[in-house]
Chains A and B, each alone.
Chain A
Amino acid sequence: EVQLVEAGGGLVQPGGSLRLSCAASGFTFSSYSMNWVRQAPGKGLEWVSYISSGSSTIYYADSVKGRFTISRDNAKNSLYLQMNSLRAEDTAMYYCARGGTGSGWSAFDYWGQGTLVTVSS
């Protein structure tokens, strides 16, 4: 059974940092691209970042570029999101979502349950 379990969310002050993690199981993690998607309270879904299976290709939404860093450790079946210079508008539920194998832009077929990040003084 495919499982994605996020952790690392919490309350942080504006300008602070937080590192999210996503533990994957039930599939060959190293074969799949991964994504982070967030959802502000009462709002819609916003894609945050993409990383290819071997970490060679990485993309970010303009809203987080230069502040967030996505990474993965295939030996540990884990995905990460380092978030720096956090702003109030980064407050959201953060989901990790599995992409596809190979080339092309695959749908997000499995999602974690999310971890809540609150940026407030």
Chain B
Amino acid sequence: QSVLTQPPSGSGTPGQRVTISCSGSSSNIGSNAVNWYQQLPGTAPKLLIYSNNQRPSGVPDRFSGSKSGTSASLAISGLQSEDEADYYCAAWDDSLKGWVFGGGTKVTVL
């Protein structure tokens, strides 16, 4: 059971917008920044969004992040076939004194 809660799956057709939620608590998302990672099949995770809504260089602007209170979300607009991957949210937890991850959301492009 993960400390951060994500839906296990999501899907959309090419061009659609998909949103992934990430729910936490006051000790993690409520007081620290949220980061999002993308893991393509058979590869290592890759940083997708940091500090709630910042994109690293090279990440398409189709990906956006937001945070409100103890929840965060990742949006993928203009869904493409190469976006089919697992997506994880993460945040530092002040109570646990460690990083916590969501259980991951598998996005399927129909």
A residues sitting closer than 8 Å to B (CB atoms) are: 35, 37, 44-47, 50, 59-62, 95, 97, 105-114
Q: Do A44 and B100 form a contact, CB below 8 Å, given A109-B56, A114-B44?
A: no
Q: A105-B92, A113-B44 are in contact. List 10 more A-B contacts (CB 8 A).
A: A37-B99, A45-B37, A45-B39, A50-B99, A62-B96, A95-B44, A97-B45, A109-B47, A109-B50, A110-B47
CA distance A99 to B108 in the complex (A): 30
The dominant DSSP class at the B interface is strand
Q: Do A44 and B99 form a contact, CB below 8 Å, given A95-B45, A107-B50, A109-B50?
A: no
Closest residue of chain B to A93, judged by CB? B44
Contacts of A111 in B (CB 8 A): 44-46
* Interchain CB contact under 8 A, B56 and A105: no
B98 at the interface (CB under 8 A from A): yes
B101 at the interface (CB under 8 A from A): yes
A sample of 20 inter-chain contacts (CB < 8 A) reads A37-B45, A37-B99, A44-B88, A44-B101, A44-B102, A45-B45, A45-B101, A47-B101, A59-B98, A62-B96, A62-B98, A105-B33, A105-B99, A106-B50, A107-B33, A107-B35, A108-B35, A108-B90, A111-B45, A111-B46
